[in-house]
């Protein structure tokens, strides 16, 4: 049997290594004259994440034939923003979780105030990276579009709004439609830029903007339903975070509303919708399709 890695495995290794290195370079450059706040920022950004969102950025770029160097800024910005959301999610006033990626959460490893400020600084740094004029081939208009779109997706009508609504449904019954809206905001709105920001570099932009946005949002919904299922079917050690956390704090999710079997059916339905959208865009049989399958099949 050959030990040669598959194309997907090579892609994952290559671009996981790339984005880690790029994030380290960012911290080395922007943190060289900074205070110790840089330490919890590093801790939460470089401590063993799967870098799924940046893999989606590079996979979309590869599918569209975009130079990988032009994808580094959105990949870094999205990963830094994701790290900020995880830091804040784990806080006692939010999801109150002491474990993240198999290690103490940021507020446990440092302090609650350090965690809050580290999250704030990561978000600010993400926009600094995204707006930096680095390549003449990327127009100022494209970078302004990046910043405008990304700020919308993580703010009031995106991730922050979704987290607010998520906290508001603790200890009460909700309809699946309401939960789906929350998932679209808190998860889908941070997955969508992984596909949309690379697409903004394509000469066909903005012709397929609606289709690309719907593709990303559908993938985000699938991602969150899969997370719900893993929370019930995997272990805390495997997940790197507390198992059944939603059940422990009486937080509605797909599994505790529908049960494992019906939640799986809903996931399959959304996957079929996603692959139909992928095919309609001509993105089937691409590395983006392979990375999507990896997301669906993951075990943690």
Write the pLDDT tens digit of every residue in 99-130: 998 899 999 999 999 999 999 999 999 999 99
DSSP 211-232: HHHHHHHHHHHHHHHHHHHHHH
Bin 103: left if φ > 0, else alpha if -120 < ψ < 50, else beta: beta
Q: Is residue 1 part of a domain?
A: no
Phi and psi angles of residue 59, each rounded to the nearest 5 degrees, phi first: -70, -40
Q: What is the pLDDT of residue 232?
A: 86
Q: Is residue 96 part of a domain?
A: yes
Does 35 score more than 60 pLDDT? yes
Which residues 6+ apart lie within 8 Å of 211 measured at CB?
A: 277, 280, 281
Does 49 score more than 90 pLDDT? no
Query: How many distinct structural domains can be found in the chain?
Result: 1
* pTM of the predicted protein model: 0.94
Q: Is residue 40 part of a domain?
A: yes
Q: Is residue 7 part of a domain?
A: no
Q: What is the pLDDT of residue 250?
A: 76
Q: Is residue 183 part of a domain?
A: yes
Residues of the domain holding 63: 18-297
Q: Is residue 8 part of a domain?
A: no
Q: How many residues are listed for the chain in this entry?
A: 300
pLDDT tens digits, residue range 266-288? 999 999 999 999 999 999 999 99
In angstroms, the CA 191 to CA 234 distance is: 23
Q: What is the pLDDT of residue 3?
A: 46
Q: Is residue 43 part of a domain?
A: yes
Query: Residue 296's Cα: distance from chain center in Å?
Result: 14
pLDDT tens digits, residue range 201-246? 999 999 999 999 999 999 999 999 999 999 888 656 666 656 666 6
pLDDT tens digits, residue range 164-176? 999 999 888 889 9
Q: Is residue 205 part of a domain?
A: yes
Phi and psi angles of residue 251, each rounded to the nearest 5 degrees, phi first: -100, 120
Q: What is the pLDDT of residue 32?
A: 86
pLDDT tens digits, residue range 54-94? 999 999 999 999 999 999 999 999 999 999 999 999 999 99
Residue owning tokens 């996603």 = 274
Whether 251 contacts 245, CB under 8 Å:
yes
Return the higher-pLDDT residue of 40 and 297.
Answer: 40
Helical axes 159-168 vs 72-89, angle rounded to 10°: 20
In angstroms, the CA 177 to CA 190 distance is: 20
**CATH number of the CATH domain containing 279:** 1.10.600.10
Q: Cα 162–42–71 angle (5° rounding)?
A: 70
Q: What is the pLDDT of residue 246?
A: 65
Q: What is the pLDDT of residue 284?
A: 93
- Mean pLDDT computed over 184-196: 97
pLDDT tens digits, residue range 2-21? 445 689 999 999 999 999 99
Q: What is the pLDDT of residue 111?
A: 97
Q: What is the pLDDT of residue 101?
A: 86
Q: What is the pLDDT of residue 237?
A: 65
In angstroms, the CA 284 to CA 300 distance is: 25
Residue owning tokens 């490893």 = 109
CA dist 113 to 104, 126, 163, 222, 263, Å? 15, 20, 20, 33, 37
């Amino acid at each position: 049997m050959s030990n040669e890695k598959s194309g997907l495995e090579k892609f994952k290794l290559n671009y996981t290594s790339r984005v880690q290195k790029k994030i380290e370079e960012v911290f080395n450059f922007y943190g060289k004259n900074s205070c110790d706040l840089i330490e919890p920022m590093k801790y939460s950004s470089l401590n063993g994440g799967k870098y799924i969102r940046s893999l989606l950025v590079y996979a979309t770029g590869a599918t569209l034939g975009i130079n990988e160097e032009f994808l580094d800024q959105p990949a870094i910005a999205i990963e830094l923003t994701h790290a900020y959301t995880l830091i804040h999610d784990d806080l006692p006033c939010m999801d109150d979780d002491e474990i993240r990626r198999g290690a103490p959460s940021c507020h446990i490893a440092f302090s609650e105030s350090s965690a809050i400020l580290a999250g704030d600084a990561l978000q600010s740094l993400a926009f600094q990276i995204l707006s930096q004029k680095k390549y003449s081939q990327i127009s100022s208009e494209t970078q302004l579009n990046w910043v405008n779109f990304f700020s919308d997706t993580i703010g009031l009508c995106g991730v922050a709004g979704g987290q607010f609504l998520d906290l508001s449904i603790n200890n009460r019954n909700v309809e699946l439609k309401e939960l789906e809206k929350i998932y679209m905001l808190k998860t889908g709105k941070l997955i969508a830029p992984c596909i949309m920001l690379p697409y903004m570099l394509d000469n066909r932009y903005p012709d397929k903007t609606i289709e690309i946005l719907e593709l990303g949002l559908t993938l985000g919904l699938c991602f969150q339903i899969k997370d719900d299922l893993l929370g019930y079917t995997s272990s805390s050690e495997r997940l790197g975070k507390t198992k059944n956390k939603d059940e422990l704090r009486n937080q509605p999710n797909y599994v505790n509303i529908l049960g494992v079997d019906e939640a799986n059916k809903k996931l399959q339905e959304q996957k079929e919708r996603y692959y139909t959208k992928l095919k309609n865009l001509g993105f089937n049989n691409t590395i983006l399709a392979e990375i999507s399958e990896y997301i669906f099949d993951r075990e943690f």
